[in-house]
Amino acid sequence: MKKMMLLAASLGAFALTSCSNYSRRPYTEIPLAEGEEEVAPNEFCAFEDFPKDVPFKYVHVVKASKMLYANPKSLRPAIEKMVRKRGGNAVANYHENIRFGAFSLTIVRPVASGDAITILNTRGKTCEEMGGQSFTK
């Protein structure tokens, strides 16, 4: 009986650790320069790290997944919706991949996560020039 309980606990721990690929990264928010106005980007951007040389503000962590196998790119609309709902206009520290779960229906499933941020001023740069990737392309 003890062995069964230990096995169930270890499977539960495995399921919890395999649910997310989010890892916190250090960042420094860049404030607006004196006299600079807020200019939001025209497109939704995803950054592997945090944007460089543009002012931004951290909002919140966002995570999305599907229970069945699918392309990880299919989670992009859900991530964008979560970020916009929290008041952000971009996602930093963004990762999307396939995870292996512990249950039969979730053996292979897509997972995406990142940090919702608000870009305060693009300073005339496009998403690619800021070091990001547009979700619309």
- Please provide the size of the chain in residues: 137
User: Does residue 79 carry a pLDDT above 90?
Assistant: yes
In percent, the amount of the chain with pLDDT more than 90 equals: 34
* pLDDT tens figures, 29-72: 777 777 777 777 788 999 999 888 889 999 999 999 887 778 88
What's the rounded Cα separation, in Å, for the pair 120 and 109?
Answer: 34
Global pTM value: 0.73
Name beta bridge partners: 97. Answer: 111
Mean pLDDT over all residues of the chain? 79
CA 13 to chain CA mean position, Å: 23
